[in-house]
Chains A and B, each alone.
Chain A
């Protein structure tokens, strides 16, 4: 029986084919308050924004840590080093995102960050904001739930082997 989930490669192809035809929307302005920006280099700004973004997607709660606490942002950066298209999407995407608000995404309050991500998640399917949201959600969930620290509270707390599930029928 074939797998029914998309591979990472397929997913990227799906997202990137019209990347350079996309335009950001001015509707975002309504979701974001203006905040003064501390001065920082572009690399540091990107890393801060990425870290903040994945933590909005997967925040800490009483049972398990936030995405960045298990290294999701670092793994996304590592992945991008071997994939030109992904690296390009991150570069263009975060340049756009941080340009939408003084100080960049990372400087927003938590509530404002949530509003921005919510807006991006509902943007037009072919737009840059939506595609950036989709690929970051895909990668963040993939890396986060591949880490045993994320499994707290789930009905799976260990890899399937070597014990298996001898209680499967009961």
Chain B
């Protein structure tokens, strides 16, 4: 396939890029996907069948971790000391006086499959009311579409992935469906059953969480065997990461080419303002230019604005597609909390599917008293990584010597964790720009992340923490063992909003189809287009639905012979 023969070039092989590639290829277009990170082989690269399985989370490979810079974050206040992270072994985790990134801070995988390679695999539809935050509450921005517009695309994505979920009305809430889930819900593990009883006693509805993990064999992939380690990479391929779903089927058409380990460093434009070609560096550090007819950016809410800002030129001095000045603005991060404790006896809580159960009762944007924006609660022992003896010993079983060995044997499997994720409202202090000094190996400026928690976020965190503690107490936890939250740490797997979509070109980077308002052959298919974050919903399914819709728009343009 010659380079100039590609109808569409996609940058980024994560949820958005893979979904768009699949839709375009299966409808007859030829697609080139460029991915900065490596390709993973689930059967060789994931280590869950070795005795060292617990020593790292998702396995790193050369190029799989992006580099970012953080601007100094806000001082921590003593009045919020109940929101500090701590555990029984080490005490308080963040000993500094400021909020800091936790590890890399932005938890992201660069690779064919993107962050779906390490995601838990929750397959959520956005709450319909979470799409109208400005018109209803005067915050964030409205989505330029409603739930009904996205619903058919949610259904397509769920069918391709093989989402397992409950079709009972109580589990669906206000998220109406045109078709049932393709697979039945998973059975809850014993820890989640215990949490469910406690939640019910508090009047909370606890239901099976819709999961991109197969409850039955589907599409040539086996059913999940409940090893509990989705975040370390699924060697069986039953988890619906996009490498084994969308991308697998895109490649099967013969019309898709994926080039891994290839970084795009600049987008170049024609005199008429359209995108003309891209500059990239391959794994041998060879630079080249690739002409493009249509370009989709799907690099995520940090890397997509970075590439646009780094592509500034004489006719676009503030960055490409940044006529609105909104590229990099409106960053929304993950607002999260996890409380963990130990039961008197083991319930083998390390077994089963991560986040197998969820409570949506506070997900609606006006559901939490006194704040705007919702949240959700879910079983979280696996996502807290309390699934093996190393993490027990290092975090929640203090001591040493023979007594410690005995305590390990008594308590292993007794940990219960409940997590909450909440809505983050955009604010002027939270955004992405280019660091003036730091550059990557290719000379490209690094993204610099600025983060500021607003009062609404802190109030929401307090509600989330208090509710988590109440549920654990109801489940029989008498002493908490660890708490971890984003008051004292920047720790985000889900980031949004830095190229927001909207109908007004003065306020939005792309339109409702994902098309740049001013660069008509430039499209964005990732969470950077989200006008609001939602109330704790995992974003991958919505990213995929938006990408499918964007792909259909491109197909329409191609079929109508719309000139590039």
Stretch at the interface among B131-139, B184-192, B246-254, B514-522: B184-192
- Give residues of chain B (365-393) contacting chain A, Cβ–Cβ below 8 Å: 380, 383-385, 387-391, 393
- Give residues of chain B (387-404) contacting chain A, Cβ–Cβ below 8 Å: 387-391, 393-395, 400-402, 404
What is the size, in residues, of chain B's interface with A at 8 Å between Cβ atoms?
Answer: 70
Q: How far is the CB of B136 from chain A (nearest CB, A)?
A: 28
- The CA-CA distance from A151 to B413 in the complex, in Å, is 13
Query: Do residues B51 and A61 form an inter-chain contact, with CB atoms below 8 A?
Result: no
Q: How far is the CB of B119 from chain A (nearest CB, A)?
A: 9
Within 8 Å of chain B (Cβ to Cβ): is A43? no
Query: Do residues A161 and B227 form an inter-chain contact, with CB atoms below 8 A?
Result: yes
Partner of A1, one of B55, B225, B493: B493
Task: Give the chain A neighbours of B51 by CB distance below 8 A.
Answer: 146-148, 159
Query: Do residues B93 and A2 form an inter-chain contact, with CB atoms below 8 A?
Result: no
Task: Give the chain B neighbours of A5 by CB distance below 8 A.
Answer: 385, 391, 394-395
- The CA-CA distance from A150 to B48 in the complex, in Å, is 17
Contact with A along B79-104 (1 / 0, CB 8 A): 00000010000100101000000110
Partner of B390, one of A56, A146, A160: A146
Within 8 Å of chain A (Cβ to Cβ): is B229? yes
Task: Give the chain B neighbours of A160 by CB distance below 8 A.
Answer: 48-49, 53, 227-229, 387
Within 8 Å of chain A (Cβ to Cβ): is B54? yes
- The CA-CA distance from A52 to B419 in the complex, in Å, is 40
Query: Do residues B394 and A142 form an inter-chain contact, with CB atoms below 8 A?
Result: yes
Partner of A159, one of B49, B95, B189: B49
- The CA-CA distance from A148 to B149 in the complex, in Å, is 52
Contact with A along B221-239 (1 / 0, CB 8 A): 0001111110100011000
- The CA-CA distance from A141 to B107 in the complex, in Å, is 25
Task: Give the chain A neighbours of B421 by CB distance below 8 A.
Answer: 1
Q: How far is the CB of B322 from chain A (nearest CB, A)?
A: 30
Query: Do residues B419 and A168 form an inter-chain contact, with CB atoms below 8 A?
Result: no
Number of A-B contacts (CB under 8 A): 159
- The CA-CA distance from A141 to B413 in the complex, in Å, is 17
Contact with B along A107-128 (1 / 0, CB 8 A): 0000000100100010000000
Query: Do residues B408 and A117 form an inter-chain contact, with CB atoms below 8 A?
Result: no
Task: Give the chain A neighbours of B93 by CB distance below 8 A.
Answer: 6
Task: Give the chain B neighbours of A164 by CB distance below 8 A.
Answer: 224-227
Within 8 Å of chain B (Cβ to Cβ): is A44? no
Partner of B189, one of A59, A64, A154, A169: A169
Query: Do residues A150 and B401 form an inter-chain contact, with CB atoms below 8 A?
Result: no
- The CA-CA distance from A121 to B401 in the complex, in Å, is 12
- The CA-CA distance from A137 to B399 in the complex, in Å, is 9
- The CA-CA distance from A14 to B190 in the complex, in Å, is 36
Within 8 Å of chain A (Cβ to Cβ): is B348? yes
Within 8 Å of chain A (Cβ to Cβ): is B346? yes
Query: Do residues A3 and B190 form an inter-chain contact, with CB atoms below 8 A?
Result: no
Within 8 Å of chain B (Cβ to Cβ): is A162? yes
What is the size, in residues, of chain A's interface with B at 8 Å between Cβ atoms?
Answer: 47
Q: How far is the CB of B283 from chain A (nearest CB, A)?
A: 25
Task: Give the chain B neighbours of A153 by CB distance below 8 A.
Answer: 405, 409
Task: Give the chain B neighbours of A7 by CB distance below 8 A.
Answer: 103
Within 8 Å of chain B (Cβ to Cβ): is A167? yes
Query: Do residues A2 and B493 form an inter-chain contact, with CB atoms below 8 A?
Result: yes
Task: Give the chain B neighbours of A159 by CB distance below 8 A.
Answer: 48-51, 53
- The CA-CA distance from A5 to B402 in the complex, in Å, is 24
Within 8 Å of chain B (Cβ to Cβ): is A20? no
With A5-B395, A145-B393 as known contacts, state yes or no: A161 contacts B419, CB within 8 Å: no
With A2-B334, A117-B400 as known contacts, state yes or no: A166 contacts B226, CB within 8 Å: yes
- The CA-CA distance from A137 to B401 in the complex, in Å, is 10
Query: Do residues A6 and B236 form an inter-chain contact, with CB atoms below 8 A?
Result: no
Query: Do residues A145 and B389 form an inter-chain contact, with CB atoms below 8 A?
Result: yes
Query: Do residues B412 and A155 form an inter-chain contact, with CB atoms below 8 A?
Result: yes
Within 8 Å of chain A (Cβ to Cβ): is B352? yes
Within 8 Å of chain A (Cβ to Cβ): is B350? yes
Within 8 Å of chain B (Cβ to Cβ): is A21? no
Query: Do residues A167 and B351 form an inter-chain contact, with CB atoms below 8 A?
Result: yes
With A2-B334, A59-B401, A168-B189 as known contacts, state yes or no: A162 contacts B49, CB within 8 Å: yes
Query: Do residues A165 and B226 form an inter-chain contact, with CB atoms below 8 A?
Result: yes
Query: Do residues B227 and A165 form an inter-chain contact, with CB atoms below 8 A?
Result: yes
Task: Give the chain A neighbours of B228 by CB distance below 8 A.
Answer: 160, 165, 168
Query: Do residues A4 and B492 form an inter-chain contact, with CB atoms below 8 A?
Result: no
- The CA-CA distance from A10 to B231 in the complex, in Å, is 20
- The CA-CA distance from A156 to B150 in the complex, in Å, is 43
Task: Give the chain B neighbours of A165 by CB distance below 8 A.
Answer: 225-228, 348, 350-352
Query: Do residues A161 and B235 form an inter-chain contact, with CB atoms below 8 A?
Result: yes
- The CA-CA distance from A148 to B51 in the complex, in Å, is 6
Q: How far is the CB of A9 from chain B (nearest CB, A)?
A: 8
Extra A-B contacts (13), CB below 8 Å, given A2-B334, A4-B395: A2-B491, A2-B492, A4-B338, A58-B400, A145-B388, A146-B51, A156-B412, A159-B49, A159-B53, A161-B49, A162-B225, A162-B235, A164-B225
16 A-B pairs within 8 Å (CB atoms) are namely A3-B57, A3-B385, A4-B102, A57-B401, A58-B404, A61-B402, A61-B405, A117-B400, A142-B390, A154-B389, A160-B48, A160-B49, A160-B227, A161-B236, A164-B225, A166-B225
A-side residues, CB < 8 A to B, are: 1-7, 10, 14, 56-59, 61, 63-64, 114, 117, 121, 134, 137-138, 141-142, 144-148, 150-151, 153-156, 159-170
| Closest 8 pairs (CB-CB, A-B) | A164-B225, A165-B351, A168-B352, A1-B383, A160-B227, A4-B484, A168-B351, A169-B187
